[in-house]
Amino acid sequence: MTRPDDLPPEQAGNVITVRLATRQRLSRLDRSNISSASCGACGKTSFDALEIRTSPLASGLQVRRDVILTLPDRLKPVQETFRSTGGVHASGLFSPEGELIAFREDVGRHNALDKLIGWALTNHRIPLDDHILLLSGRISFELVQKAAMASIPVIAAVGAPSSLAIDIARQFNMTLAGFLRPHSMNVYTNPHRII
């Protein structure tokens, strides 16, 4: 290892050069042992490994259609990082009446949701079976899985769901609404929760 004080003056500073003593064969590593903060598919060796083990949600939550349609406008004013960068996603947790309970932003959609569920967990609020989740982008299957594990029965988003997200929402008795606009939305699963 080369330390900064061993470097020529033009390379001095916060520099450390590391050289491995032997060459490592990374192909021998079992990828399933790698932990990832990215989407639920990363690090999995098969589609069967993507399956989560939880029961279908039994929440009797019902939400007015007009409340769901207003959620993007209720989340937007608090998205300071998005306002200054235009490059982050948000996950917002709402009451059935549309009150913003908590939100988190991150460059990754899944990280924003992880932060929000982490907040709920540390504040002893799980299960979230009487809440609505709003996503600022598209709905992917891993976001639906995470919401299922936190017992969130209604997911709404400004973007589209993937077909696998729809399948998982149906499997876990979750209501999935996408393409939220001021006067319209698409409801993909369990529309009985939207009144």
- Residue-wise pLDDT tens digits, 90-125: 999 999 999 999 999 999 999 999 999 999 999 999
Task: Give the separation between CA 108 and CA 18, rounded to whole angstroms.
Answer: 30
CB atoms inside a 10 Å sphere around CB 161 = 26
For residue 172, give the DSSP letter.
Answer: T
Q: Examine the pLDDT at 36 and tell me if it is beyond 70.
A: no
Catalytic option among 7, 39, 41, 101: 39
**pTM greater than 0.85 (yes/no):** no
* Local structure of 37: helix, strand or coil: coil
User: Which of these ranges, 44-48, 85-89, 109-113, has the smallest mean pLDDT?
Assistant: 44-48
Q: What per-residue confidence (pLDDT) applies to 154?
A: 98
CATH 3.40.140.10 for domain 65-193, yes or no, is yes
pLDDT-derived band at 47, boundaries 50, 70, 90 = very low
For residue 28, give the DSSP letter.
Answer: G
**117-122: long-range contacts at Cβ-Cβ below 8 A with a sequence spacing of 24 or more?**
117/146, 117/149, 117/150, 120/93, 120/150
Q: What per-residue confidence (pLDDT) applies to 85?
A: 87
pLDDT-derived band at 54, boundaries 50, 70, 90 = confident
* 39 in active site: yes
Q: Examine the pLDDT at 48 and tell me if it is beyond 80.
A: no
Domain ranges of the chain: 65-193
- Residue-wise pLDDT tens digits, 120-175: 999 999 999 999 999 999 999 999 999 999 999 999 999 999 999 999 999 999 99
